Structure 1
């Protein structure tokens, strides 16, 4: 296959090959995130009773923030770590479509529905410059879906999209639960769209023997790597609230769970969530970014192969950053954002 076609296929798959990194010198990486410090930590005792343990200095700014980096380890916030857009959302995910348009997805606040109580909200918007956003809407991803006993889904959490390299369709996926809290008995779901107007019926993408949220995808050489958070905890089950990995040769699965050396297969042996995967700008391999949600800090791990990971100790992220998504910019795009929102001229 000609080199240009190979590069186009890699772009559609969301993949960045090591051989192409020399062509990407001068590129800057952006991190989209929101800010929060949890007010409580939810615990479950031996009898299954839920209790909220208060945490210090809670805060929440559920709006889009940006930070920039050239090494993936040191991130400089724009706008003084304040929002760059006034739309309310959590878990922002941004990626450039093949036509050059940026598509943002995020978790919105559940809306009141007189028929079904709360209606889950999935934020979607588009932009040509990451400064001005058009057509803010809530996507009907779980419309018509019912769970056990006719229950309606109460949430659409951390939605993301990916280009199916075989069909060229937008592959949209997220987590939903039919319980009274989004982290209970949650599964990853998906649908497809060609135009962001009509969507195929929602189907379950990933249904392991644990509750799962915060999925993100990366395709390399025909293998789809599905990073996600296992959300199981309690005196009987132990603390299992960290990032795990599953993989498949088909974007729709089935996915096989990777059994790594840490914490029953978990990549980071402590409470982490909201991960994003990016090629390592400093050399061959990959970086996994995530937030330590109960201790209000952000972290990173590195890997040569997307399976075996090591925590990177020397990192710097914006204070109170939560659930970020990393995406690549050209140097002039990054400079435009700096001029618009304000940031130091140099960024590492």
Structure 2
């Protein structure tokens, strides 16, 4: 199952020779910031349900859905709660069947974190969670910055919970020497692989806006970057973001899914070792899909979704 929202960016942000931020208009902008679902049996060819229309009208972006340890499906997404004095929030919802969703609450995960002047962060972007069988804890992680834009000097933060009611104080999870957003995790043979987007562009740094991977022995870090360009010559220099990692259904190894936000396309690459990736050329994705997350379903669950959200075309 691929869960996603739909968007075509209205502008592309660039930095000119004077160091000024400018916005370049893009063609045919659109936004459907609600939950969409697509299904696949091979991880490479995805068919949207409900004619690629939303299956729930709750506002959200960058939604991440996984089955919890108790069997309950949990959704966490970039959202926007009404309590402005607490700063930005994440949307949290649950479902027993992936068809009927219950909005639980907005999570103000950074409400107690302030900068030197007492200011709150400007955003909570692309939250995800990872369940640890050993500690019975959920680690929630996301990107935030105190700057005036979410892509400026952004860091990955984390908080832990066992009941989704009480949360540990937010701490920095990953602070590389560049702005970082869109973190996603996979654990393999005792090692955590943190895929993320390096979000750097400017006169001094040039444009480095692609997916990288860092590893650690503990989920809290410290993480060390893999010093080798991910998908060099295949994705670079095209801008990529919103990574999601899954085991390859067809052979030993993994698949990495990501979107090309400035050209409204989606890409998939495969790897045997989580470091060296090869672009998959025979793929199909729902139109305008953005920032997907992937989960494994039973046949019965897939059939129930197709029955609940059939395609008319």
TM-score (norm 1): 0.86
Given the superposition, is the C-alpha separation of residues 336 and 93 from structure 1 closer, same or farther in structure 2, using an over 3 Å criterion? Answer: same
Aligned residue among 137, 160, 168 for 1:192:
160
Per the alignment, in what secondary structure is the counterpart of residue 335 of structure 1? Answer: helix
Bigger drift between 266-275 and 290-299 goes to: 266-275
Aligned residue among 147, 153, 169 for 2:115:
147
What residue is the counterpart of 1:179 in the other structure? 147
Aligned residue among 16, 31, 36 for 1:45:
16
What residue is the counterpart of 1:158 in the other structure? 126
| Pairs within 5 Å for 1:1-348 | 30-109=1-80, 111=82, 113=84, 115=85, 119-261=87-229, 268-343=236-311
Paired positions, count: 313
Q: Distance in 2 between matches of 1:60 and 1:51?
A: 21
Given the superposition, is the C-alpha separation of residues 79 and 200 from structure 1 closer, same or farther in structure 2, using an over 3 Å criterion? Answer: same
Higher strand share goes to which structure? Answer: 2
Q: Is the 8 A contact 2:78 2:127 kept in 1?
A: yes
Given the superposition, is the C-alpha separation of residues 210 and 136 from structure 1 closer, same or farther in structure 2, using an over 3 Å criterion? Answer: same
TM-score (norm 2): 0.96
Q: Is the 8 A contact 1:243 1:268 kept in 2?
A: no
Per the alignment, in what secondary structure is the counterpart of residue 160 of structure 2? Answer: strand
Given the superposition, is the C-alpha separation of residues 191 and 42 from structure 1 closer, same or farther in structure 2, using an over 3 Å criterion? Answer: same
Q: Distance in 2 between matches of 1:35 and 1:265?
A: 27
Cα offset, 1:109, TM superposition: 3.3
Cα offset, 1:110, TM superposition: 6.1
Given the superposition, is the C-alpha separation of residues 194 and 308 from structure 1 closer, same or farther in structure 2, using an over 3 Å criterion? Answer: same
Cα offset, 1:261, TM superposition: 4.0
Cα offset, 1:344, TM superposition: 8.3
Given the superposition, is the C-alpha separation of residues 250 and 268 from structure 1 closer, same or farther in structure 2, using an over 3 Å criterion? Answer: farther
Cα offset, 1:149, TM superposition: 2.1
What is the aligned-residue RMSD (CA, Å)? Answer: 1.9
Q: Is the 8 A contact 2:234 2:279 kept in 1?
A: no
Higher helix share goes to which structure? Answer: 1
Bigger drift between 260-269 and 141-150 goes to: 260-269
Moved over 6 A (4+): 263-267
Q: Distance in 2 between matches of 1:163 and 1:175?
A: 19
Runs (5+) with no aligned partner, structure 2: none
Given the superposition, is the C-alpha separation of residues 265 and 228 from structure 1 closer, same or farther in structure 2, using an over 3 Å criterion? Answer: farther
Q: Distance in 2 between matches of 1:105 and 1:94?
A: 7
Q: Distance in 2 between matches of 1:264 and 1:236?
A: 22
